[in-house]
A and B are shown apart, each in its own frame.
Chain A
Amino acid sequence: MSSDNHDGGDSNLPDLGDAIDIVTFSQILEMDDSEDDREFSQSIVFGFFEQAEETFEKMDEALEGKNLDELSKLGHFLKGSSATLGLTKVKDSCEKIQRYGKKENEDGTPETDEELCLSRVTETMKSLRTEYSEAETTLRKFFNTPAA
Chain B
Amino acid sequence: MPEGDMAVAQGSSNNSSDFVRKLYKMLEDPNYSEVVRWGDGGDSFVVLENEKFTKTILPKHFKHSNFASFVRQLNKYDFHKVRQSEENGQSPYGKEAWEFKHPAFRADAKNNLDNIRRKAPAPRKNQAAEDQFSSNTQIAALSETLAATQQQVQALQDSYFEMAHANKVFVDEIMHLQKMIKAQNSVNNELVNHLGKIDHERRHARATSNHSNQFNGNNIMSDGTEEPPAELRRARDILNSVSGDHIPEKDLRQMSIQFQQIGASPDSASSSSMMGPPGSAGMQNNYMHDPMNDLRHMALTPLPPSIWGIFPYNRPLSQNAMGPGQGPGAVPEPGPAAMPTASPPVGAPGAQSTSPWGQKKPRVLLVEDDKICSRIGSKFLAQYDCGVEVARDGLEAVNKINSNPSWFDLIFMDIVMPHLDGVSATAMIREVSPRVPIIAMTSNINQQDLEMYFHWGMRDVLAKPFTKEGMIGKLKKHLPNFLRVPPTEAMEQMYSNGGAGQPPTPGPYPNPNLSLPMSAASSGPIGKFETTPVQSPSTSTSWHSPAQLPHASPNMGQDQGGYLTAGSGGPMAMTPGGTQRPQQYASGMIPAMSGQQMGHLPNDAPPEKRQRLYGPGPQGPYA
Contacts and interface: CB of A to CB of B under 8 A. Distances in A.
A83 B414 CA distance: 14
B380 A83 contact: no
Interface string A12-52: 00000000000010011011000000001000100110010
B464 interface: yes
Contacts of B380: 27, 31
Contacts of B376: 27-28, 31, 44, 84
A73 B415 CA distance: 13
Contacts of A84: 370, 372-373, 376, 464-466
B234 interface: no
B360 interface: no
Nearest to B466: A84
B73 to A, nearest CB: 60
B379 A31 contact: yes
Interface in B347-376: 369-373, 375-376
Given A44-B372, A80-B414, 19 more contacts: A24-B465, A27-B380, A27-B467, A31-B376, A31-B379, A31-B380, A31-B383, A44-B375, A47-B372, A47-B375, A51-B370, A51-B371, A81-B370, A81-B371, A81-B372, A83-B443, A84-B372, A84-B373, A85-B372
Interface string A77-99: 10111011110000100000000
Interface of A: 24, 27-28, 30-31, 40, 44, 47-48, 51, 73, 76-77, 79-81, 83-86, 91
A100 to B, nearest CB: 17
A83 B379 CA distance: 17
Contacts of B414: 80
A51 B416 contact: no
Contacts, number: 52
Nearest to B375: A44
A80 B375 contact: no
A81 B379 CA distance: 15
23 contacts: A27-B468, A31-B376, A31-B379, A44-B376, A47-B372, A47-B375, A51-B370, A51-B371, A51-B372, A77-B369, A77-B370, A80-B370, A80-B372, A80-B414, A80-B464, A81-B371, A84-B370, A84-B372, A84-B373, A84-B464, A84-B465, A85-B372, A91-B465
Interface of B: 369-373, 375-376, 379-380, 383, 414, 416, 443, 464-468
Nearest to A52: B372
A83 to B, nearest CB: 4
B465 A80 contact: yes
Nearest to A88: B465
B372 A24 contact: no
B375 A76 contact: no
For B375, B414, B466, which residue has the most chain A Cβ atoms within 10 angstroms? B375
A80 B467 contact: no
A76 B414 CA distance: 12
Contacts of A24: 465, 467
A48 B372 contact: yes
A79 B373 contact: no
A53 to B, nearest CB: 13
A80 B373 contact: yes
A89 to B, nearest CB: 14
A44 B376 CA distance: 8
A24 B464 CA distance: 12
Contact of B371 (A40, A47, A73, A85): A47
A81 B373 contact: yes
A80 B443 contact: yes
B183 to A, nearest CB: 40
Contacts of A91: 465
A136 B373 CA distance: 18
B246 to A, nearest CB: 39
Nearest to B377: A84
Contacts of B468: 27, 30
Contacts of A40: 379
Contacts of A31: 376, 379-380, 383
Given A31-B379, A83-B443, A84-B373, A76 B416 contact: yes
